[in-house]
């Protein structure tokens, strides 16, 4: 199968998929120096709750649009319905603000409620317009949407915490302001003015039939990855949520960033192949994406396990360090396992319109992760919660992938996966031979050295990777010569 289309799109999407989560990663570290654990816990939980509130309110529609975009290309009727769903989805976030805060044990003040509702609504709309841009291969607008939250939203939260008050309401309100600006800019870039639009019953019925399982699937997926925060809050209080959320959030964000580097470009290509009648080609595209993703995840997990201590002691505020050092590697592994299952198993089910399978996958993941988290938090506090959640996630992911391979026809490239594991082990063994880093420069040098060892080993194990690399360098050189 040709990889040129995937390679080209991956390179074009890379600024958004790399810099947006990297900036948010930096912001998360900065927040540890501005907020106490209780404030951090509230902010982190509301950000996590947005995934659930946005999924119920609007993200289901975004997935429908992404999957069936070719059927509604240049349809004014569909554009009017999209505007109506966006308006209704944004309004629904006001309703979700109270339970979002109640789950972390807070009865909100009017100020905190308003800030939370504004944050949820602006983030849901921004995410949707990003998906609209992705469905139409509007990479520049997609990049704008992805960068608006960490640059405008989170950037303003830091300014507001320093200049005004370092509390949750101030931080969330500042992020809402930045994200609202991002919504305005992306709607202009898409030539979709903000309006109420018109409800279309026939489109809604089709979207509901397709997306209803996705809503339940999203609910279970959120419980699987964030239910552990609720259990930590019940057992350790809101300050415990803050202590837990630094390492958990950093690890999950790192895994999501690595996953998105190839996943964001791959799925539209798989849809294109399926719509052209090439079902086998679409499944091969998903399989290729899984192999590339595993090639990024495996060395990252090894590197984090070896370097979490030096990094956390260097970057994170002292009051969060002990828990973060222990939780960060566990969070990366849990995020990697879930991302691999979602971007291979779930996407296979989505392609072949077996969305109920996705619901079952996420239900199994949620039950297993919650059970592991409950046992972990009871016996081991915040660190035990992370370990238990990881164990449940691994079990749920293995069950789901077994079904996808056996029943839906996905073929895993086992030889390639074994080669990635071997290369990651060689890199890890080499890093263990050198003394631990003592500063930022030595840590950076060790990361570069590890990446270089891994890349060199991959080139030895996979000669075809050299051809892909040459193609990528040629594409970058061509883009530089041709200009924007």
Residue 255 CB partners (closer than 8 Å, separation 6+): 297, 300, 331, 332, 334, 335, 336, 338, 339
CA–CA separation, 57 vs 148, rounded Å? 20
Residue 453 CB partners (closer than 8 Å, separation 6+): 426, 427, 430, 431
pTM for the model stands at 0.81
Number of other CB atoms surrounding residue 449 within 10 Å: 14
What tens digit of pLDDT does each residue of 87-136 get? 999 999 999 998 888 887 777 789 999 999 999 999 999 999 988 888 77
Q: Is the dihedral of CA 156, 161, 162, 163 positive or negative?
A: positive
The CB-side HSE value for 190 (13 A sphere, CA atoms) comes to 31
Shared domain for 194 and 219, answered yes or no, is: no
Shared domain for 316 and 191, answered yes or no, is: no
Q: Per the domain annotation, does 20 fall within a domain?
A: no
Query: From the CA atom positions of the chain, what is the Rg in Å?
Result: 22
Q: Per the domain annotation, does 375 fall within a domain?
A: yes
Report whether pLDDT(437) > 80: yes
Shared domain for 353 and 231, answered yes or no, is: yes
Per-position DSSP letters for 166-220, written without gaps between them: -SHHHHHHHHHHHHHHHHHHHHHHTT---------HHHHHHHHHHHHHHHHHHHH
Q: How far is CA 183 from CA 80, 149, 190, 334, 360, in A?
A: 17, 10, 11, 31, 34
Q: Domain residues for 140? A: 35-199
**What was the pLDDT predicted at 407?**
83
CA–CA separation, 396 vs 366, rounded Å? 8
CB distance 153 to 178 below 8 Å: yes
Domain count, the chain: 2
For residue 278, count CB atoms less than 10 angstroms from its CB and return exposed for 0-12, middle for 13-18, buried for 19 or more: middle
**What was the pLDDT predicted at 63?**
82
Residue 58 CB partners (closer than 8 Å, separation 6+): 85, 86, 89, 90, 92, 124, 125, 127, 128
Band (2; pLDDT cuts 50, 70, 90): very low
The share of the chain scoring above pLDDT 90, in percent, equals 46
For 191, phi then psi, to 5°, come to 55, 40
- Which one has a higher pLDDT value, 356 or 248? 248
Q: Per the domain annotation, does 7 fall within a domain?
A: no
Q: How far is CA 38 from CA 223, 239, 253, in A?
A: 22, 4, 21
- Across 322-326, average pLDDT: 96
Shared domain for 133 and 256, answered yes or no, is: no
Shared domain for 194 and 271, answered yes or no, is: no
Q: Per the domain annotation, does 243 fall within a domain?
A: yes
For residue 162, count CB atoms less than 10 angstroms from its CB and return exposed for 0-12, middle for 13-18, buried for 19 or more: exposed
- Which one has a higher pLDDT value, 314 or 410? 314
Q: What stretches of 190-343 show up as alpha helix (H) in DSSP?
A: 201-275, 279-315, 318-340
Report whether pLDDT(6) > 60: no
Residue finishing a domain among 166, 199, 232:
199
CA–CA separation, 16 vs 141, rounded Å? 10
CB distance 149 to 123 below 8 Å: yes
What tens digit of pLDDT does each residue of 177-189 get? 999 999 999 999 9
Shared domain for 337 and 464, answered yes or no, is: yes
Shared domain for 92 and 133, answered yes or no, is: yes
**Of 28, 483, 453, 462, whose CA–CA distance to 257 is shortest?**
28
Shared domain for 84 and 187, answered yes or no, is: yes
**What was the pLDDT predicted at 471?**
57
**What was the pLDDT predicted at 350?**
72
**What was the pLDDT predicted at 244?**
96
Q: Per the domain annotation, does 14 fall within a domain?
A: no
Report whether pLDDT(483) > 70: no
Span of 9-13, 398-402, 450-454 with lowest mean pLDDT = 9-13
Report whether pLDDT(207) > 90: no
**Of 264, 263, 265, whose CA–CA distance to 293 is shortest?**
263
Residue finishing a domain among 132, 165, 199:
199
What tens digit of pLDDT does each residue of 257-312 get? 888 776 555 666 666 676 666 677 777 777 778 888 899 999 999 999 999 999 99
For residue 297, count CB atoms less than 10 angstroms from its CB and return exposed for 0-12, middle for 13-18, buried for 19 or more: buried
**Of 46, 223, 18, whose CA–CA distance to 123 is shortest?**
46
Q: Per the domain annotation, does 208 fall within a domain?
A: no
**What was the pLDDT predicted at 11?**
63
Report whether pLDDT(23) > 60: yes
**What was the pLDDT predicted at 217?**
77
Shared domain for 238 and 131, answered yes or no, is: no
Shared domain for 151 and 221, answered yes or no, is: no
For residue 422, count CB atoms less than 10 angstroms from its CB and return exposed for 0-12, middle for 13-18, buried for 19 or more: middle
What tens digit of pLDDT does each residue of 412-432 get? 888 889 999 999 999 999 999
- Across 158-170, average pLDDT: 95
Out of 15-19, 190-194, 260-264, 452-456, give the one with best mean pLDDT. Answer: 452-456
Residue finishing a domain among 173, 199, 225:
199
Q: Per the domain annotation, does 187 fall within a domain?
A: yes
Shared domain for 268 and 132, answered yes or no, is: no
**What was the pLDDT predicted at 21?**
80
Shared domain for 476 and 350, answered yes or no, is: yes
CB distance 86 to 124 below 8 Å: no
**What was the pLDDT predicted at 1?**
41
Q: What is the enclosing helix (H) or strand (E) of 42?
A: helix 37-54
Q: How far is CA 473 from CA 19, 288, 469, 477, in A?
A: 20, 20, 6, 6
Q: Per the domain annotation, does 137 fall within a domain?
A: yes
What tens digit of pLDDT does each residue of 43-93 get? 999 999 998 898 888 888 888 887 776 666 667 788 888 889 999 999 999
On average, the pLDDT of the chain sits at 86
């Amino acid at each position: 199968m040709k990889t040129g289309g995937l390679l080209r799109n991956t390179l074009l999407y890379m600024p958004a998929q790399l810099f947006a989560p990297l900036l948010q990663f930096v912001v998360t570290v900065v927040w540890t120096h501005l907020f106490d654990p209780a404030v951090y816990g509230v902010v982190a939980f509301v950000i996590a709750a947005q995934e659930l509130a946005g999924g119920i309110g609007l993200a289901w529609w975004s997935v429908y649009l992404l999957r069936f975009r070719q059927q509604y290309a240049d349809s004014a009727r569909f554009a009017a319905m999209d505007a109506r769903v966006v308006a209704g989805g944004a309004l629904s976030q006001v309703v979700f603000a109270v339970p979002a805060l109640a789950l972390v044990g807070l009865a909100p003040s009017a100020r905190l409620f308003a800030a939370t509702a504004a944050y949820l609504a602006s983030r849901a709309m921004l995410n949707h317009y990003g998906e609209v841009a992705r469905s139409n291969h509007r990479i520049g607008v997609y990049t704008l949407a992805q960068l608006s939250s960490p640059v405008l939203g989170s950037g303003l939260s830091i300014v507001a915490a320093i200049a005004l008050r370092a509390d949750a309401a101030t931080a969330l309100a500042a992020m809402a302001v930045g994200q609202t600006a991002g919504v305005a800019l992306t709607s202009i870039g898409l030539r979709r003015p903000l309006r109420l639009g018109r409800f279309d019953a026939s489109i809604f019925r089709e979207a509901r039939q397709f997306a209803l399982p996705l809503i339940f699937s999203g609910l279970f997926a959120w419980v699987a990855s964030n239910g552990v925060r609720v259990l930590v809050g019940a057992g350790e209080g809101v300050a415990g949520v803050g202590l837990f959320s630094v390492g958990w959030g950093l690890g999950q964000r790192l895994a999501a960033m690595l996953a998105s580097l190839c996943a964001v470009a791959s799925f539209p290509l798989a849809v294109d192949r399926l719509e052209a009648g090439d079902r086998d080609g679409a499944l091969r595209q998903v399989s290729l994406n899984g192999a590339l993703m595993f090639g990024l995840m495996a060395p990252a997990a090894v590197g984090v396990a070896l370097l979490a201590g030096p990094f956390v002691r260097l970057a994170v505020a002292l009051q969060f360090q002990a828990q973060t050092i222990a939780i960060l590697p566990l969070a990366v592994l849990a995020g990697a396992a879930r991302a691999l299952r979602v971007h291979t198993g779930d996407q296979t089910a989505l392609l072949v319109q077996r969305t109920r399978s996705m619901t079952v996958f996420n239900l199994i993941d949620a039950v297993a992760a919650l059970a592991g988290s409950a046992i972990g938090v009871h016996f081991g506090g915040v660190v035990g919660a992370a370990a238990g959640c990881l164990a449940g996630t691994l079990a749920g992911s293995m069950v789901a992938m077994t079904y996808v391979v056996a029943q839906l026809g996905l073929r895993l490239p086992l030889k390639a996966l074994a080669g990635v594991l071997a290369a990651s082990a060689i890199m890890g063994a080499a890093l263990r031979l050198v003394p631990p880093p003592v500063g930022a420069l030595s840590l950076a040098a060790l990361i570069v050295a590890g990446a270089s060892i891994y890349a060199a080993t991959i080139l030895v194990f996979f000669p075809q990777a050299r051809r892909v690399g040459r193609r990528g360098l040629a594409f970058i050189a061509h883009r530089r010569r041709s200009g924007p």
